[in-house]
Amino acid sequence: MKVAVVGATGMVGEVMLKVLAERNFPITELIPVASERSVGKKLPYKGNDYTVVGLETAVSMKPDIALFSAGGGTSLEWAPKFAEVGTTVVDNSSAWRMDPTKKLVVPEINANELTAEDKIIANPNCSTIQLVMALNPLHDKYKMKRVVVSTYQSVSGTGVKAVQQLENEIAGIEGEMAYPYPIGRNALPHCDVFLENGYTKEEMKLAREPQKIMNDKTFSVSATAVRIPTAGGHSESVNVEFENDFDLAEVRQILSETPGVVVQDDLENNSYPMPIYAHDKDEVFVGRIRRDETQPNTLNMWIVADNLRKGAATNTIQIAEYLVENNLV
């Protein structure tokens, strides 16, 4: 299996290499790919050093799979070029997510939609993935009508520059700003760019992507996305109104039996999901599960996951694993 990692020197790319090694993904030849300024650099993987190549070179090497995390512009231009030479691309950017001809996949939910003809597959937004992991099994059982989600997103979701800004602020160093304001001791209700409807692009991803992943437009999602000064891990406060009533014990049981979800909800021992706990883990953690006492059939919960792992790298690699296991590449 010849595997290219496009954006190998970036934050998600580095985690992809780490997760590929941890999961013993069947690689015979690794091709780390990055922008021209990184070409020629050496990257370690499983005890060997691999030389970073440019996109043109990577396409000519005809990898079986290309895992992309290099931004939307790069994906729009280069994913089709890889697909043309027979490579299956799993793309981590927003470029292809809402394209009606492309599948948007969370393996635990809808990997069975994939076929050998799918040459460009979209990985959902980080905050969407953890949300649908918890919502999907509950929707199957109780049927959702409306979801209201507020996110508390880490700076690593923005990238290296934002992590550096936070570290600089903590150290009292003046440096390059990734955000229009300081992020330390602050909260920015501004994830991605503002759109004409007053929402940010991130908020609209949260509104639209769950419907596509779950192949169901009978429910709606309203989102507010906020950037907070945590280094890694996204958190979400989620309010879900269902068509049918639920039993809290059954909700906990359904979630605890869902692959990839861990219920962490022991209030007597102050046990609840936190970014510090989700760090470097692949599971989605759900807690603070309680009834909304202001209206019927409505649930509140708190969802936390490592945005660079299940929110990005791990989900991408799980898609690739599914393709390999089912002989789709």
CA distance 241 to 13: 37
Query: Is residue 156 marked as binding?
Result: yes
- Cβ partners under 8 Å of residue 205, min gap 6: 94, 97, 124, 125, 127, 128, 192
C-alpha closest to that of 39 among 56, 20, 52: 52
Q: Is 3 annotated as a binding residue?
A: no
Contacts of 77 (CB under 8 A, 6+ apart): none
Please report the beta strands in the chain, taking only residues with DSSP state E, as ranges in sequence order.
2-6, 29-33, 42-45, 48-51, 65-68, 88-91, 103-104, 120-122, 144-153, 220-227, 234-242, 261-263, 284-291, 298-305
Secondary structure of 55-109 in HEC code, one letter for each residue: HHHHHHCCCCEEEECCCHHHHHHHHHHHHHCCCEEEECCCCCCCCCCCEECCHHH
- Catalytically annotated residue among 139, 190, 191, 234: 234
Among residues 255, 251, 243, 250, the alpha carbon closest in space to that of 296 is found at 243
72 is in an annotated binding site: no
- Answer yes or no: is 157 a known binding residue: yes
Q: Is 227 annotated as a binding residue?
A: yes
Residues sharing a CB contact under 8 Å with residue 68, sequence separation 6 or more, in sequence order = 6, 7, 74, 75, 78, 79, 89, 90, 91, 92, 93
290 is an annotated ligand-binding site residue: no
What is the distance between the alpha carbons of residues 63 and 84, in angstroms, rounded to a whole number?
A: 11
Q: Is 244 annotated as a binding residue?
A: no
> Is 274 marked within a binding site?
no
Does the annotation flag 11 for ligand binding? yes
Q: Could you give the CA distance from residue 96 to residue 72 in angstroms, rounded to a whole number?
A: 8
126 belongs to the catalytic site? yes
Told to judge if 234 belongs to the known catalytic residues of this protein, a careful annotator would answer yes
Catalytic-labelled residue, pool 126, 139, 191, 279? 126
Q: List residues forming the annotated binding site for substrate.
A: 153, 227
Q: List residues forming the annotated binding site for NADP(+).
A: 9-12, 37-38, 156-157, 307
Q: Would you please indicate which residues are annotated as catalytic (active-site) residues?
A: 126, 234
Q: List residues forming the annotated binding site.
A: 9-12, 37-38, 97, 153, 156-157, 227, 307
Q: List residues forming the annotated binding site for phosphate.
A: 97
